[in-house]
Chains A and B, each alone.
Chain A
Amino acid sequence: MNIFEWSFLSGVLTATAPVLLAALGGLLCQVAGVFNIALEGQLLWGAFTAVVVSDATGSAWAGVAGAIIATVLFSGLLSGASVRLKADPIVVAVGLNLLALGLTAFLMRQIFGSGGTYSSPDLAGLPTLAELGLDIPVLGPQSPLVPLALLLVVAMAWWLTRTRSGLRLRGAGQHLEAAEAVGLPVAAYRHGVTLAAGALCGLAGAQLSLGNVTLFSEGMSAGRGWIAVVAVMLSSVLPYRLLLACLLFGVAEAFGFRLQGAGLPQQAADAAPYVITLVALVLAAVWRRRSHEHA
């Protein structure tokens, strides 16, 4: 097996994209001082609503738009409860993750008539770049949302450091009283980033259910939202480092997939991304401590 094959790199990008999009939302929240662990539920909700809208309209792009709108609305529950009503964001997020799991499974049965996995010829998947006339290695088999995710990393890095609103957002997340003292509308920022994270999770979900595959299955987010949370923790709120963390996960998933092809049990492939993410977390934390002690 040659891990430098184009197809492997392509597989890495495919696995990375949904996590990266969700993690960008988490990063935005982190910058503004919001600990958002509802990414998992939002990702799942986004994947589901994308499939519902695409199935109903026959248009994948309508599915993407529907997922964005529906997930922004869903994240409104988080911003309403935790920012407006000041409820414990962790507890609210735990509830919302559960709610998303229940709602998608329930509505799936109501709308499509059965549980498990839904796919249909009516369901339009996102086109690949190759189909759109851009037949280049690695990116060719990807949906347009994949390069979009990469562009968003660059855009966010630029925005946070080079613009007025980016500076204010960073300030609002660093020191609440300081932000209030200079008149920054911190609550508005927190609502804003929570909703923006919803939009990004909508995109992430659409990529998962209409890009990576063209189907919806119960609980298909499968922990990717939690991996995104960890990626944010690993990133020190720097977008390029976030990309690296997400790529690490993508490599793990693509590698696990290969292992499975090579005859290893599916459970090993399932576990690989988590184990690698955990190891990365430990190494990063240990390294951070080391560098502190020797600085």
Chain B
Amino acid sequence: MTAPALARRVVASAPVVAVVGALALTTLVMLVVGVDPTLAYPALVRGAIFDGNLEYTIAAFVPTLGMALAFALPLRAGEFNLGGDGQLAIGGVTAAALALLVPLPPVVAVVLPLVAGALAGGLVAAIAAPFSTRLRIPAIVSTLLISAPAVSLASYLVRFPLAEPNTGIAQTPTLPDASHLPFMGGSGYVTIGLPLIVVLTGLWLHIDGRTVTGYEIRATGQNREFARYGGVKVDRVAALALAGGGAFAGLAGALIVLGPPYRFVDGALTAPGYTFTAVAAVLLASARPLAIPVAVALLTVLQVGGLGMEREAGVPSQLTQIVQGLIIVIVAVLATVRARRGVRG
């Protein structure tokens, strides 16, 4: 392929069109409500990348990537996991409880809460599996319904049994030093959570593309009857994929809690909207697993930059949710428009 042809293909590719289209529509929203885009966008970029904010963006990249895998893994098996918030909160509260209540030696005090958080998140997600495989209730509904009480449960635990005494603030006490995630090279935000999640992403990419397990998960997602006919135990595969996704969400929650400010603050895990930023990123990557980290990076920049935009230009940061919603809709539309054009051509 020649360089100009390659460039044309990149420019016309669905993700690029979706992002550009969504930003154009968002600009339109800005103009309608009287926000000056020439102030807002530079503020967004500064808020995400410059003025020492890049570190903070990288720190936010970690849980968002974790949540992206939480959505992407079940999706490969054809299950929609929209219950990320509940899995995230339960993972976080489990890790916090373990670190607070059980005296652990160094290293173990980090590893064990992370593992426990992942297990707890996986367990919450796995509840949805029999709903989908036995009762024919779509995971998209059951994961969401389970998520709400799971968030409530975490909130209850943080406010009452695990609450920091005598402060009245809905948060746990600071975790013991041994459970603090070490920082990366002098940063005040980025912890070893970053290399950990990157390695795990690599591992997932390997499993997805180059192992029997990944093949069977994909076959289940592409055509469940075909996989069943081929001897794949599809119910088990779907449950495994959901649990695996939930484990990534639980791990993301544990990573947040074991990082600064080293405690579970009620609402702090779900308020930044990691779950749906991740959903938007995965759908933007449209069935190309390798593109997921790139899409996550892009949307994290938007998300974190949105906060900067709010500080600096006074534009509400919820604008980034609008962008994400539009991206999802446009990606969905482009997928079918292209498929139809492909058939005709």
Contacts and interface: CB of A to CB of B under 8 A. Distances in A.
Interface of A: 37, 77, 81-82, 85-88, 90-92, 94-103, 105-107, 109-110, 115, 223, 226, 229-230, 233, 265, 267-268, 270-271, 274-275, 277-278, 281-282, 285-286, 289
Interface stretch (B133-141, B174-182, B203-211): B133-141
A201 B284 CA distance: 28
21 contacts: A77-B329, A81-B333, A87-B333, A91-B283, A91-B331, A92-B328, A95-B325, A97-B325, A98-B279, A98-B324, A98-B325, A102-B319, A102-B322, A102-B323, A102-B324, A102-B325, A223-B145, A270-B149, A270-B152, A274-B145, A282-B135
B148 A223 contact: yes
A97 B329 CA distance: 10
* A interface: dominant SS: helix
A265 B159 contact: yes
A98 B160 CA distance: 31
B156 interface: yes
Given A99-B329, A271-B153, A233 B137 contact: yes
B75 to A, nearest CB: 10
B326 A86 contact: no
* B interface: dominant SS: helix
B33 A95 contact: no
Interface of B: 29, 33-35, 80, 82, 131, 134-137, 140-142, 144-146, 148-149, 152-153, 155-156, 159-160, 276, 279-280, 283, 316, 318-329, 331-333, 335-337, 340
A223 B145 CA distance: 8
A278 B142 contact: yes
Given A109-B316, A229-B141, A281-B135, A270 B148 contact: yes
B332 A106 contact: no
A95 B328 contact: yes
A271 B149 contact: yes
Contacts of B140: 37, 90
Contacts of B153: 267, 271
A88 B335 contact: yes
Contact of B332 (A37, A81, A274): A81
Contacts of B320: 102
B39 to A, nearest CB: 15
Contacts of A103: 29, 318, 321-322, 325
Contacts of A92: 328-329, 332-333
A249 B336 CA distance: 37
A99 B326 CA distance: 7
Contacts of B34: 110
B145 A230 contact: yes
A82 B332 CA distance: 9
A105 B306 CA distance: 13
